[in-house]
Structure 1
Amino acid sequence: MTVLVASDLDRTLIYSAAALALTMPDERAPRLLCVEVHESKPLSYMTETAAGLLTELGEAAVFVPTTTRTRKQYQRIQLPGPAPKYAICANGGHLLVDGVADVQWHAGVTERLARECASLAEVRAHMTATADPAWVRKHRVAEDLFAYDVVERALLPEDWVKELAVWAENRGWTVSLQGRKIYAVPQPLTKSAAMREIARRTGAELTLAAGDSLLDADLLLAADRGWRPGHGELADAGWVAPTTTALPERGVAAGERILREFLRAAR
């Protein structure tokens, strides 16, 4: 039986230093493996145990990294185990096959966005006009598909995020707050659609998924079984679904637990 595992990466399988949540005494902390370097500095980690589990998973199932990162940001990550044949980037906007973007898939995505939601230009202009320079550090566009702002989280007004979410919802977009980034993503741009396409191509009979943010909800609902960690947007909202297990672990320990669950279900 072919099993497909589509997993979010940041704060699900890999973690920045700030997101590790190492609450145990230092002498009991797990050994960590750096899996991403950016501008000559280590950026993302997983435990060495998780690295071994991911290697096993790559041999037991079709493992598909599934991320909102751009292709360039994804390609910085060096995951242990066999190189994945497929990867989903830009929240489903790009489907990579052996590291190369599927042009036809991307063309179909852009056509759908043009038909079904407000333009990126309109959303970006609204975010720029309403955000306060006192707490916005950067305005960014990802792959000409969606926008995000990098903010000072402590200064960010909750009301602004809520108002943006309502404004965006009325125009077919979703807002997600993840760490220091506020994403505005078109509702038709989904990880689940790309996962279904890969499942079709591979003939997968069982699909497994994991994720921590609002942008992962559709992926979890589309999979036969899913897991979410005890941190992140979904946990904070108390989000539940019949086929998704809410795990108690937080931080890098959650990544290790998710990989154990994937392996148990895939075998």
Structure 2
Amino acid sequence: MTGTTVVASDLDRTLIYSAAALALDVPDHEAPRLLCVETYQARPQSFLTEAAAALLVELAGDPGVVFVPTTTRTREQYLRINFPGPSARYAICANGGHLLVDGETDHDWHASVRRALAADCASLDEVKDHLRRSADPAWLLKERDAEALFAYLVVDRALLPEAWPKELAEWAEPRGWSVSLQGRKLYAVPRPLTKSAAVAEVVRRTGADRVLSAGDSLLDADLLLAADRGWRPGHGELAAAGWSAPHVTALATEGVRGGEDILRAFLAAVR
């Protein structure tokens, strides 16, 4: 394969997995060996299989590939991840709000994002105020904002009313915001704040002629739709919704093995 390919992949529950999200469905003695790629306060947090780690090293080391970690994580949260192989030249954090170049924030990109949000969306303060007034302390565990760009709640899924995220989405939509529920986190994100816009900027800078992507949540839908080819695992919001697109492959594999299969698919596509 000639030319340059940008491989832009979501991270959590796509390439890397917490212990709770591994979804190992085999006897313990048959479980794959895992590599820890993130610690927090001296505790292991995120994993991929050793086989996936080897695939990632091969993919990121390909001279025709620009591997771009693409995440809703804040910069601080992203920088805790220690992937095997060469460091990524570009990384996208805060759902496209920050573009890192060699680990440093590109301030011109961030300024352009701020201008777009100010022009097209209700303010973060308005959204946070609505969340505080409408969330029930019975199921609300934490309320946070990420880099003063978007808000998220940590919730008790067992107690969260099924209709509440939909009602929040209906409130948010005319204000230019979208809602996504991922595990215990419920995100409220401005619609112009997208991973795909930041990926397009990486494509412009690198002169890439093709984009491959992967993701599991509704916040990854624009990333998948903007790519030439995409993959989603057998778990997550997109799988639960039956989301599909002609150029996006829906894998059956779930959990950490799904991440391994995504990396295998990336490699096959760039060869």
Q: Following superposition of structure 1 onto structure 2, how do residues 33-72 of structure 1 map, counting pairs within 5 Å? A: 33-60=35-62, 61-72=65-76
Task: After the TM superposition, list the runs of 4 or more consecutive aligned residues in structure 1 that deviate by more than 3 angstroms.
Answer: none
**2:28 matched to which residue of 1?**
26
Counting matched residue pairs gives 267
1:161 is aligned to 2:165: yes
**1:141 matched to which residue of 2?**
145
Cα distance in 1 between the residues matched to 2:261 and 2:124: 37
**2:97 matched to which residue of 1?**
93
**1:251 matched to which residue of 2?**
255
Cα distance in 2 between the residues matched to 1:107 and 1:118: 18
Cα distance in 1 between the residues matched to 2:108 and 2:197: 14
**2:236 matched to which residue of 1?**
232
Gaps in structure 1 of 5+ consecutive residues: none
Cα distance in 2 between the residues matched to 1:15 and 1:169: 30
Gaps in structure 2 of 5+ consecutive residues: none
Q: Structure 2 counterpart of 1:39, which letter?
A: Q
Cα distance in 2 between the residues matched to 1:217 and 1:144: 23
Q: TM-score under structure 2 normalisation? A: 0.98
**2:111 matched to which residue of 1?**
107
What is the deviation of 1:206? Answer: 1.1
Cα distance in 2 between the residues matched to 1:90 and 1:63: 17
Q: Cα deviation per residue 1:103-128 (whole Å; 9 max; x = unaligned)? A: 00000000000001111000010001
Cα distance in 2 between the residues matched to 1:232 and 1:130: 25
What is the deviation of 1:236? Answer: 0.2
Give the share of equivalent positions with the same residue, in percent: 70
**2:9 matched to which residue of 1?**
7
Cα distance in 2 between the residues matched to 1:247 and 1:169: 30
What is the deviation of 1:235? Answer: 0.2
Q: Cα deviation per residue 1:58-101 (whole Å; 9 max; x = unaligned)? A: 01211000000000000000111110000000000000000000
**Alignment root-mean-square deviation, CA:** 0.5
SS in 1 for 2:46: strand
